Structure 1
Amino acid sequence: MSEEAPAALSGVDVPAVRTALIEWYEADHRDYPWRQTENPYEILVSEVMSQQTQLDRVVDAWEDFLSRWPTVEDLAAADRADVVGFWTGHSLGYNNRAKYLHEAAEQVVSDYDGEFPEDPDELSELMGVGPYTANAVASFAFNNGDAVVDTNVKRVLYRAFDVDDDDSAFERAARELMPAGESRVWNNAIMELGGVACEKTPSCDAAGCPWREFCHAYETGDFTAPDVPTQPDFEGSRRQFRGRVVRVLGEHDELSLDELGPRIRVDYAPDGEYGREWLRGLLDDLADDGIVQVREQGGTTLATLEQ
Structure 2
Amino acid sequence: MSDAESDGDADTDAGPEWDLPDDLAAVREALIEWYEADHRTFPWRETDDPYEILVSEVMSQQTQLDRVVEAWEEFLDRWPTTADLAAADRADVVGFWTGHSLGYNNRAKYLHEAATQVETEYDGEFPETPAGLQDLMGVGPYTANAVASFAFDNGDAVVDTNVKRVAYRAFDVPDDDAAFEAAANELLPDGESRVWNNAIMELGGVACTQTPRCDEVGCPWREWCSAYGTGDFTAPDVPTQPSFEGSRRQFRGRVIAALREYDELAIDTLGHRIRVDYAPEGEYGREWLLGLLEDLVDDGLVDVNRSGDEPIARLRR
* TM-score class, shorter: over 0.9
Structure-2 residue corresponding to 1:44? 54
Structure-2 residue corresponding to 1:28? 38
Matches within 5 A, 1:261-280: 261-280=271-290
Q: Which residue, out of 184, 191, 207, partners 2:201?
A: 191
TM-aligned CA deviation for residue 171 of structure 1: 1.4
| Distance of 1:31 and 1:92 partners within structure 2 | 21
TM-aligned CA deviation for residue 304 of structure 1: 1.1
Structure-1 residue corresponding to 2:259? 249
Instruction: Deviation per CA, 1:234-293: give whole Å up to 9, x if none.
Output: 111111111111111110111011110110000101111111111001000111111111
Structure-1 residue corresponding to 2:167? 157
TM-aligned CA deviation for residue 52 of structure 1: 1.8
| Distance of 2:277 and 2:62 partners within structure 1 | 29
In the TM superposition, structure 1's runs of 4+ consecutive aligned residues that sit over 3 Å from their partners are: 4-7
| Distance of 1:45 and 1:77 partners within structure 2 | 16
Structure-2 residue corresponding to 1:234? 244
Structure-1 residue corresponding to 2:110? 100
Consecutive unaligned residues of structure 1, counting only runs of 5 or more, are: none
Matches within 5 A, 1:207-226: 207-226=217-236
| Distance of 1:247 and 1:213 partners within structure 2 | 52
- 1:162 and 1:216 in contact (8 A); partners too: yes
TM-aligned CA deviation for residue 5 of structure 1: 7.4
Name the aligned partner's letter for residue 265 of structure 1: R
SS of the aligned residue for 1:233 comes to coil
TM-aligned CA deviation for residue 299 of structure 1: 2.2
Instruction: Deviation per CA, 1:192-221: give whole Å up to 9, x if none.
Output: 111111111111111211111110000000
Distance 1:11 1:71, change over 3 A: closer
Name the aligned partner's letter for residue 141 of structure 1: A
Structure-1 residue corresponding to 2:92? 82
| Distance of 2:85 and 2:21 partners within structure 1 | 50
Consecutive unaligned residues of structure 2, counting only runs of 5 or more, are: 1-13
SS of the aligned residue for 1:261 comes to helix
- 2:98 and 2:257 in contact (8 A); partners too: yes
TM-score when scaled to structure 1?
Answer: 0.97
| Distance of 1:292 and 1:254 partners within structure 2 | 10
Q: CA RMSD in A?
A: 1.2
- 2:107 and 2:138 in contact (8 A); partners too: yes
TM-score when scaled to structure 2?
Answer: 0.94
TM-aligned CA deviation for residue 6 of structure 1: 3.9
| Distance of 1:203 and 1:197 partners within structure 2 | 5
- 1:245 and 1:264 in contact (8 A); partners too: yes
- 1:269 and 1:275 in contact (8 A); partners too: yes
Structure-1 residue corresponding to 2:304? 294
Q: Which residue, out of 48, 57, 75, partners 1:65?
A: 75
Q: Which has the larger radius of gyration?
A: 2
- 1:76 and 1:106 in contact (8 A); partners too: yes
Structure-2 residue corresponding to 1:122? 132
- 2:118 and 2:126 in contact (8 A); partners too: yes
- 1:9 and 1:173 in contact (8 A); partners too: no
TM-aligned CA deviation for residue 7 of structure 1: 4.6
| Distance of 1:254 and 1:11 partners within structure 2 | 62
Instruction: Deviation per CA, 1:34-93: give whole Å up to 9, x if none.
Output: 000000000000000000210000000000000000001000110000000000011101
Q: Which residue, out of 200, 213, 217, partners 1:203?
A: 213
Matches within 5 A, 1:177-188: 177-188=187-198
SS of the aligned residue for 1:45 comes to helix
Higher mean C-alpha deviation, range 276-285 or range 295-304: 295-304
| Distance of 1:62 and 1:166 partners within structure 2 | 33
Higher mean C-alpha deviation, range 146-155 or range 61-70: 146-155
Distance 1:10 1:69, change over 3 A: closer
